[in-house]
Each structure stands twice: as C-alpha cells, then as structure tokens.
Copies of this chain bind each other. A is one copy, B any other.
C-alpha cells in the first residue's frame, strides 16, 4: 500500500494539469497554447515534486496532447528526428567506448603522473583532464564516471579517507574540484553535456545559429578563466589540509604501468574520437552535419568491435533518455510555436519594463541561475525556461547572441548550486568525503564565482566575438 503523502504527490500533477486546463484562457493565448502549457507544467512539476520520473511524465504528456488534438502527431513526435536530440543519444552510446576501453582512465592517470605532486597540482590535473576530454563526452555524468575513480584512487593513495575528519579534507577538496569542474567544462564545449545541443536548438528558434566552433570561441575566455580559478578558489573555501602529495605521481605511474601497452580498443577509440572532435570543430566551415559525424563514429566503433551489440543492449537507459528528451523537446518547441513563450516573455518583460538592456541582461542571468535551486536536472530547466528568458532578453534590447550564450553557459555552471542540481554530482556527493551542508555552502559560493566570472569576463568577450 502506498502512503497518503505519496498518493497526494501522484495526484498533484493531474490536479495541476486540470486546474490550469479548465481555468479561463488568458487573453492573447489560443486554447491550444494554454492547454499545452497545462500539460507541460504538470509534467515538469511531477518531476520536481518527485511524483513521477521524466519518462513516465513525458509519455503521459505526449499521449494527452495528441489524443486531445492540441498538437498533431507529426509535431508531437518531431523531437525524435531532431538532430540535437539524436546527437545526445548517439554520443551517449559512443562515450561508452572511452569508459570500456580504459582510454579515459589512461588519460587521467597520465595527467596525475605529470602534475600530481601537490594538492593543487592534483586538482589542476583532474580539472584540465576534464576540460580536455569533455568535447567527446556529451554526458557529464559519463565523464564523472571516468574521473571519479581517478579522484578516489588519488585521494586514497595520498592517505585521505572519508572516516577521518582531518584526512578526509584532501579527498573532499579533490571531489569538489572535479564536480565543479564538470559544471564549467560543460560550458566550454557544445558537445560536453546533453543540455547544450538542446539549448542551441532553442536558440535557433530565435534565429541564432550556433555551431561547435562558434560556441568554443565564445566560451573559451570565461570558461578557461573559471577553470583556472577553480582549484585555487576551492582550496581557499575548503582547505585540503595536505598541500604536498609526492606519492600521487608515482602511484599514477604504477597504475599506468599496470594498464600496460595501449590495447587495440584504446587506439581505435582514441583515433575515432580525435577524428570525431576534428570533424565537429570543422563542421561549420566544411558544412558537415555534426550528428552524422557521431553516427559515423558509432558505426566505426561497432564495425571494429570496440563496441558490441551487447554494449548497446545494456544502454536501455539511453533509450529512456531519448524518449523523454524527444517528447519534452518537441512540446517545449510547440509552446514556442503556439506563441506561449512570447506571451510569457511579454508578461515577464512588462515587469522589467524601463530597465536598460545591461540591467535586464544581468537580472535575467541572475534569476535564471538561482531558479536552478528548484530544478533537479539541467535539461528540464533548459527546456522549460531558456526560450522564455531568451525572448525576454531580446525584447529588453539585449543583443540576442549575448543573451543566448549567457543563458547557455549558465545552464552548465549552475549545476553545482545544489548536490542534486545535475546528475553528475550524485557520485561525488555520495563519496562520503563531503557533507550536505558543505555541498550547499560550496555550491552557493562557487556558483556565484562562476556567475561573476561569466558576467564580468564573459560579457565583453562574447560581445567582441559575436559582433
């Protein structure tokens, strides 16, 4: 039997949907837009209150909007064929090769063996590795899965254990640096997290085309500044206790030696990823389709047997992601197409009327970042709010590329604001090296630091390169 509170939770989304659906349609909106909004809010809020997972909510939502005739089947299903959604799906599959072949671990160990002689050096080696491998890892969760065992073995190797209050600090320091690094490395590369291509697609609906290369140029200065500052900032907020870790490079070298020579799978994976990333970088100028490059990479990894059909058969959760992402993506696009986003934007804009565009820009970014306290996933906030915020900024006179990049980068770096703000955080938060209150305190300060860097350094840079 389920408890009353759970029952209430499970009924709540339907109550929300019904409440909005049957409320009078606001002037300026079509009934279709209003009813779609009712379903969309119910689906997102069912996830926020923990009533149903995203998959369940999105299946019910898409069935509702099609069967009630709000949206045509073709439009409701269009997300499945969207190149950005497909890029996320294929890249998830492709990333398995880096984990499976051990290539990711090899790169991390190499970095530690070179730069790991101090706690700061260890942190930098982890953070820079993350930044370097990120373009080929469109899932920051998968990247976390590669970096976590390295961070753990480095911490253990230096004698840091969660059980000892003093000794846990080095481990906690490295865990937090890596976790925050995942947030900011995701802002550096368009293909570093699944939310990015989604955001790019939403920005395209505002007439802005962003490619792998133009993203990298715009992100480079503020993201690299944030990455450079991160280990120092966290060391100041959460002193690691130990500063010199002379054993770590030797331990990494030992582990590397134990891994032996590069296997055939390592080499094929490395070449495939180098070619894929090169293709992604050159895609804009050569007119290549980014998603097809990912399809080719997957095909090559399958053809060479680096990935097998059994590996794919274990990826049912990628199918679940594909299903909910495609559905919510299409519904969010339809909210826009049916005029809801611009309606909501007008309403929000009317409250912000009379402000100069720089004030509007800063205010919108700050609100957008702190609203993430409410969201458990980056993608769901991007799907729900990015379009509206972009629209409000554009109405307020903010240059569209600046507003778009500001929101896109924020969609990555805000993920450390809470331990549940991004799924990649979970494994680090659960490592035992960090306490809940530390995670929230560090989350707030580090997020504010990222926000300031991206506003102060990023704004003039983005204005410069998008003129």
Binding site for B on A (CB under 8 A): 10, 52-53, 55-56, 59-60, 62-64, 66-67, 73-74, 76-83, 86, 89, 288-289, 291-293, 295-296, 298-300, 302-303, 309, 312-320, 322, 326
Q: Are A291 and B81 in contact (CB under 8 A)?
A: no
Q: Are B73 and A292 in contact (CB under 8 A)?
A: yes
Q: Are B60 and A291 in contact (CB under 8 A)?
A: no
**How many whole Å from A259's CB to the nearest CB in chain B?**
23
Query: How long is the Cα–Cα vector from A276 to B63 in the complex, in angstroms?
Result: 12
Offer 5 A-B interface pairs, CB within 8 angstroms, sorted by A: A55-B309, A60-B300, A63-B293, A67-B288, A316-B319
Q: Are B59 and A299 in contact (CB under 8 A)?
A: yes
Residue of B298, B313, B326 near A316 (CB, 8 A) is B313
**Candidate in A60, A78, A80, A291 with the most chain B CB atoms within 10 angstroms:** A80
**How many whole Å from A451's CB to the nearest CB in chain B?**
34
Query: How long is the Cα–Cα vector from A79 to B316 in the complex, in angstroms?
Result: 20
Q: A53-B302, A80-B81 are in contact. List 10 more A-B contacts (CB 8 A).
A: A10-B303, A63-B296, A66-B289, A67-B289, A80-B86, A312-B317, A312-B319, A313-B320, A316-B318, A318-B319
Q: Are A315 and B316 in contact (CB under 8 A)?
A: yes
- CB-CB nearest in chain B for A322: B319
**Candidate in A73, A86, A289, A295 with the most chain B CB atoms within 10 angstroms:** A295
Query: How long is the Cα–Cα vector from A28 to B302 in the complex, in angstroms?
Result: 36
Q: Are A66 and B292 in contact (CB under 8 A)?
A: yes
Stoichiometry, copies per complex: 2
Inside 8 A of A312's CB, which chain B residues have their CB? 55, 316-317, 319-320
Inside 8 A of A317's CB, which chain B residues have their CB? 309, 312-313
Given A73-B83, A77-B86, A289-B67, A59 and B320 contact (CB-CB distance below 8 Å): no
Given A60-B296, A79-B81, A296-B67, A73 and B309 contact (CB-CB distance below 8 Å): no
- CB-CB nearest in chain B for A290: B73
Q: Are A56 and B316 in contact (CB under 8 A)?
A: no
Residue of B64, B79, B298, B314 near A59 (CB, 8 A) is B298
Inside 8 A of A303's CB, which chain B residues have their CB? 10, 52, 56, 60
- CB-CB nearest in chain B for A291: B73
Given A302-B56, A312-B320, A293 and B67 contact (CB-CB distance below 8 Å): yes
**Leading 9 A-B pairs by shortest Cβ distance:** A59-B299, A63-B296, A81-B81, A60-B299, A319-B319, A66-B292, A315-B316, A56-B302, A313-B316
Q: Are A53 and B309 in contact (CB under 8 A)?
A: yes
**How many whole Å from A3's CB to the nearest CB in chain B?**
14
Inside 8 A of A295's CB, which chain B residues have their CB? 59-60, 62-63, 66
Q: Are B299 and A63 in contact (CB under 8 A)?
A: yes
Query: How long is the Cα–Cα vector from A322 to B322 in the complex, in angstroms?
Result: 11
Query: How long is the Cα–Cα vector from A363 to B53 in the complex, in angstroms?
Result: 53
Query: How long is the Cα–Cα vector from A82 to B81 in the complex, in angstroms?
Result: 8
**How many whole Å from A211's CB to the nearest CB in chain B?**
14
**How many whole Å from A338's CB to the nearest CB in chain B?**
18
Query: How long is the Cα–Cα vector from A67 to B314 in the complex, in angstroms?
Result: 29
**How many whole Å from A297's CB to the nearest CB in chain B?**
8
Inside 8 A of A316's CB, which chain B residues have their CB? 312-316, 318-319
- CB-CB nearest in chain B for A77: B81
Given A59-B295, A314-B316, A316-B318, A74 and B81 contact (CB-CB distance below 8 Å): yes
Query: How long is the Cα–Cα vector from A289 to B317 in the complex, in angstroms?
Result: 26
